[in-house]
Structure 1
Amino acid sequence: MKYAVDASKMKQIDEFTIEKIGIPAMVLMERAAYETVSVIKRNIKRTDRILVVCGTGNNGGDGVAAGRILYGEGYDVAILFIGEETKCSPQMKEQLAIARNLELPFENCNKLHAYNIIIDAIFGVGLTRPISGYYADIIEQINASQSKVFSVDIPSGISADSGKLMSIAVKADYTITFGYQKHGLLLYPGVEYAGKIIVADIGFPKIAAEQANLDTFYYEKEDLNRLPLRKSYSNKGSYGRVLVIAGSKGVSGAAYLSAKSAYRCGAGLVKVMTSEENRAIIQTLLPEALFSAYDEVTEDSEGRLRRLLSELDWASVIVVGPGLGQTKEAEYLLDIVMNKAKVPVIYDADAITLLAGWMDYQKLAGQSRIDYLTERLQEQSVLTPHLKELSRLIRVPVSDISDNLIDTAIQCSYNSKLTYVMKDARTIVSHQHQRYINVSGNHGMATGGSGDVLTGIIAALIAQGMTLFEASCLGVYIHGYAGDVAAQEKGHYFMMAEDLINALEKVLQLKGQ
C-alpha cells in the first residue's frame, strides 16, 4: 500500500518537515534536484542538449539546482527562466544566484527548439488557476517540440488535486515526484500527461506524514498478499456463502458472471437466485452453483416471503442487482433485501437504478439523497455505481463527478458507514474518511459484464472474512490486474468479461511472489 496526497497534504508535510523537524528547505531542494538528475542521467546521452525551463517558485528552484548539477558533471545545460525575478521564492532566488555564480548559460524562448532534452520546472503542485499568456505559449512550444521532457514533481499545468488540466499542461515523458504520489498523477487526464512516474524519497520524515493524517492510498502487486489465507483444515463452509440475486427472464449473463467470479476468487459456496427461465443456462454453464428461483410459484405470498427470507439467512454476503431489471418483481426483491438482510449486501447495477428511482418519488423533506441512503441502507452495504449510475443516485451531473472524483467520494461517504465503489477509468473506493484510488486495469475492460465480474470478486472476499472496505479495495485491484493480464493475452480490442474471470487464476497465483 502506498499513500497519495493532494496539494494541501503535501504542503502540510513540507511545512512540518521544515518548521517542526528543522530540515532546511534548501536541503530538501538539493535532494530533489539530485533525485531528478539521477533519473535524467539514466535516460539521456552525453551528447544531448538540456534546457531547464523554470518558473518563479520552489519547483523552479528544483529545476535550476538539477540543471546546475548536470552542468557541473559536464552536460550541455542552459536555463530558460520565465517570470519576474522579484516574485521568486527565497529558495529560487538563491538557486538563481548560485547558477549565475557558476556561469550557467541562460537562454530565451526563441532557442527552445535547439535543445532535445527539456526539464519542466515551471509550476509545481501548488498551481490553482488556469495558465494563460506567455506561460501557455511556452508550454505549447514544449509540447510541439520533439524533445524528451522530464517534469519536476508534476507536469506543469496539471492539478495535483484532481488531475485536471489548468487550461494547458506539459506532456512529459518522465515525471519525478517527491515524497508521495500525487492525486493528479493517478487520475485522468493527469496520468496521461505524466509519462513514466518515479516517486523519489527526498527525506520527509515519517512523523510528518503521520501529522498530516494521510487518508488516500493505492495498491501495487505486493498487495495481493492481502488475500485471505486458505487453511489446511477447512471445508467449503469455511470460505463463506455468496447469494447472487440477479438476472431476469431470459437475462442470465450478469448472474452467471458474478457467480463464477465469486467462485474463482475463493468463495466456498455460491447460490444464484434468478428467474426460473434461467435454470437450464445457469446449471449448464456453472454446475458448481446452487440454484434458486425467485419467481417460483408458491402457495401464497406469505409462503414465498418465508422462502426468500430463508435464502437471505443462508448467505454470508448478498449481491443484488446485476441484470435484475426494473420490474415490480425486482422492486419486491430489493425491498426484501433492504429490510430483512442481516449480512453484508452489495448493491449493484439495476439495484442502484431502482434506489435512484425510489428517491425521485420520495419526499425527502430537505434531507440530502446521500443522507437518505445512509439512513435507509444497512451499515454493512457496498454500492458499486459507475458514474452515470452515481449521477442518477445523488443527482449530480456526470461531468461534475468526473471532474471532482475525490471530492465526490468524500461527500458520499464521509458521514456514512456505507462503502462506495465509484467505477471509472480510475475507480475510487470510499468509506468514511478513507479513499482508495485504483491504478490497475485498462480500456479493454470497457465491455459488457466487466462490472458483474467485479461484484462477484468483492462478494467472495467479503465471504472469506475481509471487511467491506478492504474487500472492495482489493477486489477492484484484482479485477483491474486481471484486465491487464487478459489484455496481454487477448489484446484490448478482443477482451470480453469472461476473459477477466479466466485471468483471475494467474493473478491470484501471484500471492506471495
Structure 2
Amino acid sequence: MRCLDERAIKKYGIPSILLMENAGSACAREARKFQLRNVLVLSGKGNNGGDGFVAARHLHSQGISVSVFFFQHPNKMKADPRVNFKILKNIGLRPVDCSRSVNWDLLRTQLRRSDLVIDALFGTGLSKPVDGPISEVIELVNASKKRVLSVDIPSGLNADTGEVMGAAIKAGVTVTLGLPKKGFLAECAKPYLGRVVVADISHPCLSARTALH
C-alpha cells in the first residue's frame, strides 16, 4: 500500500492530502449506507487517524452527530492529519484528547449512544503489539457489540500475515484503500474483517497491478 501511495505522490504528482481526503470521504460514503444519528470516531497515529478526521468532517457536514476521540497529541501528528484535525476544530467539533489519558466515562457514554464506530486507530504501518490504554479501548469496543467500520484494516491486524498483534478490532465492515491487504487471505484474519469494501482513492490504475509482492 505504501508503494501505491509513494508512486501516486512522486510519479503522478497527486498530493498526499488528496489521497487522505479521498480515503476519508470513501469511508464516510460507506458509513452513510447505515441509518445514522450518532457516530463515534476513534483516531490514532499516522495517516489512518487523519482518514478518520476526514470521515468525521464529511459525516458532520451531512447533519450527523459525530464524536471524535484522538490518541496522538496534535504536536506529534504528521502534516496531513494535523491539517484535518485543525479543520475539525474550525467547523465546531470538539475532539476529545486521549493522547495522555482516556476519559473512560465519556468514552463509554459516547459508545453507548453511537450507531456506528469508525475505527481509525492503526493502519498498515503497525509494527508492534497493541498494548496499554488503546488495547483496552479495542476490548471495550468489541465487548459493546456496536457496528464498526474500520479504515483500511481493522486496528491491530498485521497487514501482511493477518495475525492479531496484541488486540484487534472486530469490524462489521472494512473499507480497504486501493487494494485488499495480503493478510486478509489468512484464516486468522477473517473473524475481524467483516464485509470488505475496496475503495478507489485515485491511485493510477496501472499501479494497482504492480504494487503487490
TM-score normalised according to structure 2 size:
0.90
Task: Extract unaligned runs of 5+ from structure 2.
Answer: 97-102
Query: How far apart, in 1, do the equivalents of 2:161 and 2:90 lie?
Result: 39
Query: How far apart, in 2, do the equivalents of 1:84 and 1:140 lie?
Result: 22
Residue equivalent to 2:99: none
- Of the candidates 65, 86, 97, which is equivalent to residue 54 of structure 2? 65
Query: How far apart, in 1, do the equivalents of 2:104 and 2:120 lie?
Result: 15
In the alignment, structure 1 residue 126 sits paired with structure 2 residue 125: yes
Shift, 1:105, TM fit? 2.9
- Of the candidates 19, 40, 49, which is equivalent to residue 31 of structure 2? 40
Check whether the contact 1:176–1:197 (CA below 8 A) recurs between aligned residues: yes
Residue equivalent to 1:111: 106
Q: Name the SS for the 2:10 alignment partner.
A: helix
Check whether the contact 1:158–1:164 (CA below 8 A) recurs between aligned residues: yes
Q: Deviations over 1:332-385 (max 9, x none)?
A: xxxxxxxxxxxxxxxxxxxxxxxxxxxxxxxxxxxxxxxxxxxxxxxxxxxxxx
In the alignment, structure 1 residue 24 sits paired with structure 2 residue 19: no
Query: How far apart, in 1, do the equivalents of 2:195 and 2:12 lie?
Result: 32
Aligned positions of 1:138-287 closer than 5 A: 138-210=137-209, 212=211, 214-215=212-213
Shift, 1:135, TM fit? 1.2
In structure 2, relative to structure 1, the CA distance for the partners of 1:211 and 1:180 (3 Å cut) is closer
What's the RMSD between the two structures over aligned residues? 1.5
Task: Extract unaligned runs of 5+ from structure 1.
Answer: 1-9, 216-513
In structure 2, relative to structure 1, the CA distance for the partners of 1:118 and 1:109 (3 Å cut) is farther
Q: Name the SS for the 1:67 alignment partner.
A: helix
Check whether the contact 1:31–1:202 (CA below 8 A) recurs between aligned residues: yes
Runs of 4 or more above 3 Å deviation: 209-212
Shift, 1:183, TM fit? 1.2
Q: Name the SS for the 1:45 alignment partner.
A: coil
Query: How far apart, in 1, do the equivalents of 2:182 and 2:13 lie?
Result: 27
Shift, 1:207, TM fit? 3.5
Q: Deviations over 1:45-86 (max 9, x none)?
A: 24x311100012100000110011000110010110012322
Shift, 1:181, TM fit? 0.7
Q: Name the SS for the 1:21 alignment partner.
A: coil
The letter for the 2-side match of 1:28 is L
* Count of matched residue positions in the alignment of Structure 1 and Structure 2: 203
Residue equivalent to 1:92: 81
* Structure in which a larger fraction of residues adopt helix: 1
Shift, 1:102, TM fit? 0.6
Residue equivalent to 1:446: none
The letter for the 1-side match of 2:141 is I
Query: How far apart, in 2, do the equivalents of 1:202 and 1:83 lie?
Result: 24
The letter for the 2-side match of 1:45 is Q
Q: Deviations over 1:297-355 (max 9, x none)?
A: xxxxxxxxxxxxxxxxxxxxxxxxxxxxxxxxxxxxxxxxxxxxxxxxxxxxxxxxxxx
Shift, 1:87, TM fit? 2.1
Shift, 1:112, TM fit? 2.6
From the CA coordinates, give the structure whose radius of gyration is larger.
1
Query: How far apart, in 2, do the equivalents of 1:109 and 1:72 lie?
Result: 27
Report percent identity of matched pairs: 39
TM-score normalised according to structure 1 size:
0.38
Query: How far apart, in 2, do the equivalents of 1:56 and 1:190 lie?
Result: 22
- Of the candidates 83, 102, 105, which is equivalent to residue 72 of structure 2? 83
Which of the pair has the greater relative contact order for Cα pairs under 8 Å at 6+ separation? 2
Check whether the contact 1:77–1:105 (CA below 8 A) recurs between aligned residues: no
In structure 2, relative to structure 1, the CA distance for the partners of 1:35 and 1:202 (3 Å cut) is same
Check whether the contact 1:164–1:188 (CA below 8 A) recurs between aligned residues: no
Query: How far apart, in 2, do the equivalents of 1:17 and 1:24 lie?
Result: 8
Residue equivalent to 1:333: none
In structure 2, relative to structure 1, the CA distance for the partners of 1:109 and 1:183 (3 Å cut) is farther
Shift, 1:211, TM fit? 5.2
Check whether the contact 1:184–1:191 (CA below 8 A) recurs between aligned residues: no
